[in-house]
Structure formats: C-alpha cells, structure tokens
Structure 1
C-alpha cells in the first residue's frame, strides 16, 4: 500500500478523528462545563461567583497566598538553580551524571512522596521537627524548591552548556571582570532559558496540590486545595468552578507570557556541541562546586534519606514493622490495605498507559508524516498540550459535573481513574514521540524503495524500529506519571479503587505511630517502583542509541 494512497490517508484521518473525539469528551467537555457552571445559572450569565472571589475576605486570602507561595518558591528555585546550572553544566568532575540524576529524582517522583519526605524531615520527631516548620509557608516553599530545582538546573544548564563561550573569553581578555562579563555577555545568552524555566516553575507551584495538601496548615490554603475543599466538603460547586476559571486564566496568562518572552531573539548566540569545553577545577571553581553539591545534599538527599530511615524506625528501634503492616487491613484503618492500593495503582497505570500511548502515537504520526501534516493534525497537536496547563483538580471537578448521565455515567465506574490519568499522560507521550519519529531520515525510506522494497517492507524496516522506540519511552513515562497522579484521582476515587498516593495522604492524616510509619513505608515503596521504572527507561534509551 502506497504511503500516500487514499485508503491510508482515510485510515489516518479516521484514527485522528477518534483521538480528537476521546480528547473532546474526556477533557474539553469537562473543562468547558466547569467554566459554564461558574458563570451561568439556568442559561443566564451570572458573574456573582467571580465577584465573590474579590468580595469574600477568606477567598481573597486564598488567592493572595497562592500567588505568594508560587512567587517565593519560583524565586528560591532560581536563586539556587542558576548557580547549580553553572556548576553541573560547565564544570568537569567525577560523578557528574550521578549528581544530575539525583537532583532530577524529586521532579519525577509523585508529589505525595516528596511531601511525605518533608513531613519526615520537618514533622514531629523529625530531625528538624524542633523548628516547627511543618504546616508553614516555609515548609511548602522548601518542598516546592526541591521539586522544581531540577527544572532550572536542567533547562538553564542545557543552554549554558551549548552557547559559544568565545565572547565571554574575549570580554575577559579586554579587561572586563567576571561579574561584568556575566551580566553583559553570559546572562543575555541564557536569559531565554531562565525566563522559560521561571514560568514553568511558577506554573507548577501555582497549580500544586499534593504538596500543599500534605504540608499545609491553617492559613495555607491555595486555589487548588480550596477547589477540593469547596467540592468535597462544602458541596459549593459554583465557588469551586469560579476558582477554576480564575486558575485557568492565570495559567493561560503564564503560558502566553512564556510564548512571548521565553523565545530566543535574532541575536541568539552561536551553539556548540554539548559537553565540549568543560572547565577544569581550580580553587574557586572547587568552592562553587562544593557549595552546590551541599545544596543538592540538603535539598534533595536529606528529605529522601530521612524518609527511608523513618520508614524503618519504630519505637523499639529499627525494623520492618511498618512494611509488614502494609498488607494488614486492621493496622491502618483504610478500606484497602496499602499493598492492595499499590496493586490498584499499578493496574490503573497500566490501563492508562494502554490508552495514552496509542492516542499519543496517532497524534505524533499525524504531525510528523509529511502526507499527514494537515491543519487538523497541527490543531490537535496543540490542543492535546492543554492538560499541561490545566489543573488536574479542575479536570477531576469537571468529571463530577459532566459524567453523570447515561451513556456516560462514569462517576462510579472503575474506568474513570485510568481515563483521567491517560488524559494527564498523553501530552508527555506526544512530546516524547514527535521528535523521535521526526528523526527518521526520509533518505532511508527512499533508498529502500529504490532497492525494490515494498512499502510494507520499508515501513517494517525503517519506520517500525523508530516507532517501537517511541512506544517504549512514551509508555514508561506515561506509566510513571499515571502511577503517581493525585489531583484528578482525589476527586473520583472510591474506597474500593484507592490508589497508593491517595492511601499515603489518608495515612498521614490519621493519628498514631502505626499510620505514620505505614505512610513512610508506602512512600518509600512508591518511590522505589517509580525509580525502577526510570532506571529501565534509561537502560532502554541507552540500548536504543548503541
């Protein structure tokens, strides 16, 4: 069958239409319902819920605190991350890859694991419990910085490693000092990545849910947690919808700002291969490296290390008591044991991956195959990125408001959780698959065809290995993301479908040493499973490149 045949074109359009229908039903419809519920009553425009956000002092405090914690956390991530970007992208030292992997770990871990780690560090009986930071703005900011530190280091460091440093060397030769050279030469070169990473970190902090829910206390409610409270506790759906509208507007503004200010201008510097020109250590650079390694150890290593230690710590010493309790229903007081919750999480993640990978591949193939680059495919590629900018909490609220009428009465259905997780994971699959598939050299296809290979043979020999690599990488990330998904799941979970992140949150909210110990052990278990997935991904990636 020819690659440009009408039958193949029709098949691509049919698959893209099916993906668009799924996305419209399970994302656009719920989100639009949230928006209309917030501003319409019986078909009449009513802006009173939105004006209530400004007139109600309690809601004003929530909004102000949301902006405050996101702004302070973003500033902290930049202050610590930019020096880290220099140290880990420009300095040559042994163990550099291991350090980069360690500092990235919190970002790829479920938020409940990071939150649990800081509860273990700052909570009662924790090493820093005497500071009484648990439940404070400081605890939230520290956890947010830990979670997003890698965004700044990786993003800024990647650009820093690639720019041509000859201009900076020339500036120093002409007598400019290090500070002046950095401000006049280096900073303009890395400014796009600084702006981009700052906006991304602000976005993550502004829409943070799990960390706030676990680490927050009285007076630390954010828009996300207030949406959850208004829906699940007060049943005030109009206020929840109004808060969701405000959040969508802010997120949209941040994304537009990133598109406007985060791009590189026409004077962008020359680029060079990554890893070339690393600087050898001297006394000053060694001091810079040591300081940044200390930051990584305290910011990342300490919370995760304390989490592991406390999962083995009992009143009678070190032991496996809390791990044994994970399979005992009576010891935790949950409707499902943590081990059953882990089984649920693995099952949901597998089903979500089975949904997200085909969806992502359909869209990726449509926008990368030249004959399939239609306007509808490009629109679909952009539309499927919207879940990255819309809160999972808002998505969960949308499901409660929309999926309550046959034939889509899914609010009590087992399938709703993996569907929600698939919607959250699909953008990552698309972003991973598009560059991998696009990397296929058309000349390989042409050469195979000239040698007499049938189109089906060309596809099997040239395209299929590339697609297989995209499937493996996309599936791994989709599985890891679905495994730790917390925001949307918190709205639609039922006692018999409890996931491990939900179980950890509930255990942390219950009194008693056993519940706390089980929460620590569950968090370590979830961290271990996620880390194992990432290790397998890394090995697969290395194997595909060899």
Structure 2
C-alpha cells in the first residue's frame, strides 16, 4: 500500500515538473521583456515629440546649446564623482582585503560581514546615517559645537561633492574588500617566496608579483563600484537642493517634474553609453577572474599582526571604517531615541517617543505589510527566473549571448527603467513594480546560484542525467538540492534589494502606494529625523538577516 502511495506521489511530482519548467520559462521571458520593452521605450522620445509634455508644466525651455552645456556639465560631474568614489572605495577595500586575507584578528568575521552592506542595507539608510552623524546638527557637529563653543557647524563637507564621494566610497568599499580578499587568501605563495629569496623587499614583491595577480579582482571591484556610484540616485536626491545633481536626478526631474521626455531620453542615452562601456569591460574582466578563481584551490594560513607599522596601519584603517561607516549606522538608532527637550546625553537620547508615533501609525503598518508583500513576490519571480536560467545553462550549450544576458541589467538604472515604464503606463501599479524590480535584481540572484553551481563536478551532472527519467527530474532532484544554500541566499538578497528600493516606487508614481523606504524618505524630507531613523532601524533589521545567511554560508564553505 505504502509502495503504491509513494509511486502515486512520484507520478504526481513528475507531472508537476512537466508544467513547472515551461511556467518558469514564461516567468523568465516576462522578466526579460520587462527589461527590454521599457528600455526601448526610454529612447523613443528622441525620435518623436508625441511624448513631450513640458509645455503643460511651464518648465523653462533652454536653447539647444544651453541644454548641451548643462547636460555635459552634469554628465562630467557624474562620471568624475563616480570615478573618484570608485578609486577611493577600491583603495579602502584593498587595505581591508589584505588584513582579512592574510591576518588573524578579532573582528575579522564582522569586517567581512560588511560586504553585504551595499546590497542589503538600502542607500536611503546610508544617506540618513551620514546626515544624522555628520550633518549640521548631527552627532559629530553637536560634540564639536560644545568643544569650540559655537552655534555654527564645524564640519560642513557632507552636502558638497566631497561628502557625496565619502558616502559613496565607504558605502561601497566592502565590494572590493570581499572580492579581492577571496582571491588574495588563495594565491599561490611560491612566487612571492621565490622573490623574497632573490632579495626583493615586501613592496617590490607586492608591486611585481602580488598586485598583478590581484589586478583582475581589483578591476572588477572598481568597475562595479563605479556603476553603483554612477547610478546613485536616492543619496543625491536626499542631499539635493544644494547645487549637487547627477544624470540620474536630472533624468527623474525631466521625466516626472518638467515632463520633458525628449531631454529625459537624451540623458538615458548618455547613461547607457557610459554604463555599456563599463559593463563590456566588467564582463571581460569577470570572465578572466572566474577562469583564474577555478585554479585557486589552496587557502593560505593567516598570521597574527606583527610589527608597530602593521599594527598602526591596521588601527588607522579600522578606526576610519568605524568612523565613516559603523558609527553613522549606529547613530541612526541613537537618533531614533532623540528627545529635543533635553541637552544632556542620557536625557537627550534613549527616549522612545518617535518609536511610539511610528509603531502606532496606520501608515507604518500598511507600509510594513506592503514592503514584505512586494519583497516576497519579487523574490519569488526573480528566483524562478534565475533557476530557469540555471536550467538553460546546465542542459544546453552556453553561447556568448547567454553569458552576456546577466550583465545587461547592470548597465541600466532603476530610474532609467522606471522612466521607460512611465511612458508605457504613466501611473504605475504593484505588478509593474514587481516586474521592474525583478528585471533589475535577477542577475544578483543568478550570481548567488551560480557560485555553488560552478562547484558541482561534471561527473555529478552526468550521473544525475543517467539515473534520472529526464532533464527536469535531474535538475529538481540533484542540481537544486546541491545549490540550496545559493537559492536561499538569492531569495534573501533580492528581498533586501526590493525592501530597500525607494527609487522605482518614486518614479513609477503608484497611486496610494507606500512602503518602508518611501515612508523613510518622506520623514527625512520633512526633517523628522527621529521618526525616519526609527523606520530605518526597522528596515535594516528586516533586510539585515541577509548578513546571517551570507556569513553562515561562507563559514560552511570554509
């Protein structure tokens, strides 16, 4: 009897799998079309005046030369700040990668866990953290005002180009730290030892042996950080009104405020040219990096910190990271307990009035439910699309076009894609938001699945095909279980990206829509920093579980 039940269950699951793969294929192609159609539409206003509604808004009409000069100036600023931010972020990441790869010290795992910050902690929380910590009335300036007995803020760098670069650099340096440290700790030390025996000093060894071996990982990190800084939107928007603007912000203003779709299309074209060039380089470097990583099998032993110079350098690096990343993030919680009626520290803080206001608000409860609902739906759609792409990759001969597909969304920003959707549907919807988020997030999910997928030996694939009824059966019974950790991690990453996304909801202009990121932005824009900080803490807690998933997976791998 039990045998018959098991046989019936197996038949039922087998029948289900026959429909699962085609259904997953439909979802995958829906996600791809949700990327390609809006992208194509974003360039249509270049060739048609049908989409230009600027005359309805009374927006200032510039002559062609003025428009060119203005856009050129903004494009130059965007590229320059992204290049400088990427350079500084890579340098900081390289320094941190050295200690994580080569040295044992307390807090090493915590430092490595920061690698999830750029993807898991929303940019709007980072922007708020720096305002709360370094702003005119922030923690640092409050202390400095007391010391120097002045009413004017002592530090005024935050709302300048310097401030934007500092925020971008420290927000994104963990990308370089993680990427470079993974390669550095597995480098073959024979060449370094041979160079040392020949009399080369440490700097010469690093310059001639180590640095060339790390160059691909450094280049990949630099290009990825450049793209993130180039497409920065919410940070600039929150710092806006101070003469600082980028192509992303101008695209949003043109598409939503002045309704100058022709100008928005021109900005989109500039962005796609710059980002496309960066993506071609990134794909080339990443391919070389993957080839070299497969040859790196050993893990070198880490040593303790030794020497005054090394200890000083480590202390300086750790204090800098603490001051410009960890302390600002902690200050968000501190600000959420702020009480303006007192001046001394223990009365000024640890008052939870803002929390009571937020938690008792019906808007907050609606925003929380919407955030979770959209996050789960986006994660499901994205994960399904990524697993179907994994199925194609495993059971068909990979072609060049297949290898390029996951890189394409990296060349397009959420604002650009949202602009395309507004031309298709002026007032967005929840379904459009889920599709748009999935179209941009699925490469990140695919990356998490690809890591364990590449580790599966070919003989396992062959055995799975031999002992399974068909390809679908082999994929569900063998491949997915072996990639289980990557699948869970992918779900968590996409959920965090979706929950922290304020850019797409802002530009899609969905009627009667509110999520935690939008609520945080609304509070911060109206200078209600205690309430915005409380929402930021809740949002960070919701998305922060990805750290646990990533580190747990990393520890098991080790």
Could you state the TM-score of these two structures normalised by the residue count of structure 2? 0.83
Deviations 1:262-296 (A, max 9, x none): 66499979965454232332113322322222222
- Deviation of 1:322 (Å): 1.0
Residue 445 and residue 190 in structure 1: after superposition, are their counterparts in 2 closer, same or farther (change >3 A)? closer
Residue-pair matches, total:
516
1:274/1:100 CA distance change after superposition, 3 Å: farther
Q: Is the 8 A contact 1:65 1:220 kept in 2?
A: no
Match of 2:111 in 1: 99
Indicate whether 1:57 and 2:103 are aligned. no
Q: 1:521 aligns with which of 517, 520, 534?
A: 534
User: How far apart in 1 are the matches of 2:35 and 2:231?
Assistant: 17
Query: Deviation at 1:544?
Result: 7.7
1:27 to 29, 35, 49: 35
CA distance in 2, matches of 1:448, 1:256: 35
- Where does residue 430 of structure 1 map in the other structure? 446
Return closer, same or farther for 1:437/1:126 CA change in 2, 3 Å cut-off: same
Change (3 A) 1:275 1:293: farther
2:505 is aligned, of 481, 485, 489, to 489
Q: How far apart in 2 are the matches of 1:382 and 1:13?
A: 22
Output the CA distance in 1 between the equivalents of 2:539 and 2:506: 17
2: CA distance, partners of 1:289 / 1:214: 33
Residue by residue over 1:31-61, the C-alpha shift from the partner in whole angstroms, topping out at 9 and shown as x without a partner, is 0111122244479xxxxx9994875433232
Q: Deviations over 1:408-467 (max 9, x none)?
A: xxx3433222222222221122222234345444545766788x8766986665345235
Distance 1:85 1:542 in 2: 16
Find 1:38's aligned residue among 46, 51, 56: 46
Cα distance in 1 between the residues matched to 2:292 and 2:442: 32
Does residue 194 (structure 1) correspond to residue 218 (structure 2)? The answer is yes
Alpha-carbon distance between aligned partners in 1 of 2:173 and 2:319, rounded to the nearest angstrom: 14
2:489 to 461, 466, 473: 473
2:316 is the counterpart of 1:308: no
Give me the whole-angstrom Cα distance separating, in 2, the residues matched to 1:461 and 1:268.
30
What are the superposed Cα offsets for residues 240-276 of structure 1, whole Å, 9 maximum, x if unpaired? 1110110001000111223456664999799654542
CA–CA separation in structure 2 for the residues paired with 1:160 and 1:202: 22
Aligned counterpart for 1:393 among listed residues 415, 424, 436? 415
| Conserved 8 A contact 2:445-2:493 | yes
Q: Work out the CA distance in 2 between the residues paired with 1:225 and 1:169.
A: 51
- Taking a change above 3 Å as real, the CA distance of residues 174 and 268 of structure 1, as seen in their structure-2 partners, is farther
Measure the CA separation in 2 of the matches of 1:374 and 1:80.
36
Indicate the larger mover: 462-471 or 265-274.
265-274
Q: Deviations over 1:121-155 (max 9, x none)?
A: 12232123421233211221111011111111112
Work out the CA distance in 2 between the residues paired with 1:271 and 1:279.
Answer: 23
Partners of 2:291 and 2:356 in 1: how far apart? 61
Aligned to 1:220, the other structure's residue is in SS state coil
Given the alignment of the two structures, is residue 367 of structure 1 paired with residue 393 of structure 2, yes or no? yes
Query: 2:90: which partner in 1?
Result: 78
Matched residue, 2:189 = 165
1:209 aligns with 2:233: yes
2:321 maps to 296
Whether the aligned pair in 2 keeps the contact of 1:429 and 1:477 (CA below 8 Å) is yes
CA deviations on 1:3-29 (whole Å, 9 max, x unpaired) are: xxxx99997984575245413431101
Q: Which runs of 5+ in 1 are unaligned?
A: 1-6, 44-48, 330-335, 405-410
Deviations, residues 205-231 of structure 1 (Å, cap 9, x unaligned): 111111111134422100001111111
Whole-Å separation in 2 of the counterparts to 1:155 and 1:542: 13
Distance 1:525 1:166, change over 3 A: same
Equivalent position of 1:279 in the other structure = 303
Determine if contact 2:85/2:165 at 8 Å carries over to the other structure.
yes
CA contact 2:170–2:324 (8 Å) conserved in 1: yes
Q: Which whole-Å CA distance do the structure 2 matches of 1:196 and 1:169 have between them?
A: 27
Flag the 1:277–1:471 CA change in 2: closer, same or farther, 3 A: closer
Structure 2 residue runs of 5 or longer lacking an equivalent are 1-14, 52-60, 142-152, 342-347
1:120 Cα deviation after fit: 0.6
Kindly report which structure 2 residues correspond to 1:104-503, keeping only aligned pairs within 5 A, or say none: 104-129=116-141, 130=153, 131-260=155-284, 264=288, 272-273=296-297, 275-283=299-307, 284-316=309-341, 317-318=348-349, 319-329=351-361, 337-368=363-394, 370=395, 372-373=396-397, 379-380=401-402, 382-403=404-425, 411-441=427-457, 443-444=459-460, 461-466=477-482, 468-494=484-510, 496-503=512-519
**429-438 vs 193-202, which moves further:** 429-438
SS at the partner of 1:415?
Answer: helix
| TM-aligned CA distance change 1:447 to 1:236, over 3 Å | closer
Instruction: Give, in whole Å, the separation in 2 of the partners of 1:158 and 1:66.
Output: 30
2: CA distance between counterparts of 1:113 and 1:121?
Answer: 12
Normalised by the length of structure 1, the TM-score is: 0.85
Distance 1:477 1:301 in 2: 21
SS of match in other structure, 1:352? helix
How large is the RMSD of aligned CA atoms in angstroms?
3.4
How far does residue 193 in structure 1 lie from its aligned partner after superposition?
Answer: 1.4
Which shows bigger deviation, 28-37 or 261-270?
261-270
Describe the shift of the 1:495–1:17 C-alpha distance in structure 2 as closer, same or farther (beyond 3 A). Answer: closer
Give the direction of change, closer, same or farther, for the CA distance of 1:244–1:53 in structure 2 (3 Å limit): farther
